[in-house]
């Protein structure tokens, strides 16, 4: 409630506008409420000094100027490598089961023939070897090549390496293809 001006004996500092008189809620001392230039309310003693400077309980009423800490960043759960491997193997089995048996047999035969003649290969090499053998290299699910490669690894025909080559098939968009080492390459006759 504004009274129009401060009572006799109260000093309003320059830059402040008198608002009203009340008592401090913690020490019961008389205080004068004034507005700052920015429009914030400030509790002042009758002599114009900030009541925060003299109130014994000032810390209980002070607002901190420091920003609150940001909320903690919620990180995704740590992936389970074993679950990822199991999901990959299950997906390869599903793709393999959905691929025609004749195509799987033919692709496995071409892979064995290819591994017998080259030191290393990628699924691109298998694709082109199937084509060169006069078969259709396309299947409803191109991931069927992964199942053929897995079977070749299990049969001891090839072994994966840590090397990759960019695909040369336009449909594969130059994505990296794992290089597999032949385990059955025959020596060239002398």
> Given this model, what pLDDT does residue 1 score?
45
Per DSSP (E only), the strands in the chain are 17-23, 30-35, 41-44, 120-121, 158-166, 176-182
Beta strand 41-44 pairing with 176-182: unpaired
SS3 content of the chain, % helix, strand, coil (to 5): 35, 20, 50
Closest C-alpha among 128, 120, 127 to residue 185: 120
> Given this model, what pLDDT does residue 121 score?
97
> Given this model, what pLDDT does residue 176 score?
96
> Given this model, what pLDDT does residue 156 score?
96
Q: How many Å apart are CA 114 and CA 121, to the nearest integer?
A: 8
Q: What does the pLDDT profile of the chain (190 residues) look like in tens digits?
A: 445 678 888 889 888 999 999 999 889 999 999 999 888 899 999 998 998 889 988 877 766 666 677 788 776 676 788 888 888 888 888 888 989 999 999 999 999 999 999 999 999 999 999 999 999 988 888 889 999 999 999 999 999 999 999 999 998 899 999 999 999 997 655 5
Tell me which H or E stretch contains 101: helix 101-115
């Amino acid at each position: 409630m504004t009274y129009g001006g401060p009572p006799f004996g109260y000093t309003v500092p320059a830059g402040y506008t008198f608002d009203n008189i009340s008592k401090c809620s913690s020490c019961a001392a008389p205080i004068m409420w004034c507005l700052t230039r920015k429009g914030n309310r400030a509790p002042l003693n009758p002599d114009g000094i900030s009541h925060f400077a003299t109130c014994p309980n000032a810390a209980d009423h002070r607002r901190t100027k420091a920003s609150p800490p940001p909320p903690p960043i919620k990180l995704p759960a740590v992936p389970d490598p074993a679950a990822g491997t199991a999901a990959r193997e299950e997906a390869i089995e599903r793709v393999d089961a959905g691929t025609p048996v004749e195509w799987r047999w033919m692709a496995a035969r071409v892979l064995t023939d290819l591994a017998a003649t080259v030191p290393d290969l990628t699924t691109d090499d298998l694709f082109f070897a199937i084509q060169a053998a006069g078969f259709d290299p396309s299947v409803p699910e191109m991931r069927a090549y992964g199942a053929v490669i897995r079977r070749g690894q299990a049969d001891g025909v090839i072994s994966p390496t840590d090397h990759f080559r960019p695909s040369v098939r336009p449909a594969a968009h130059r994505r990296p293809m794992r290089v597999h080492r032949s385990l059955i390459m025959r020596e060239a006759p002398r």
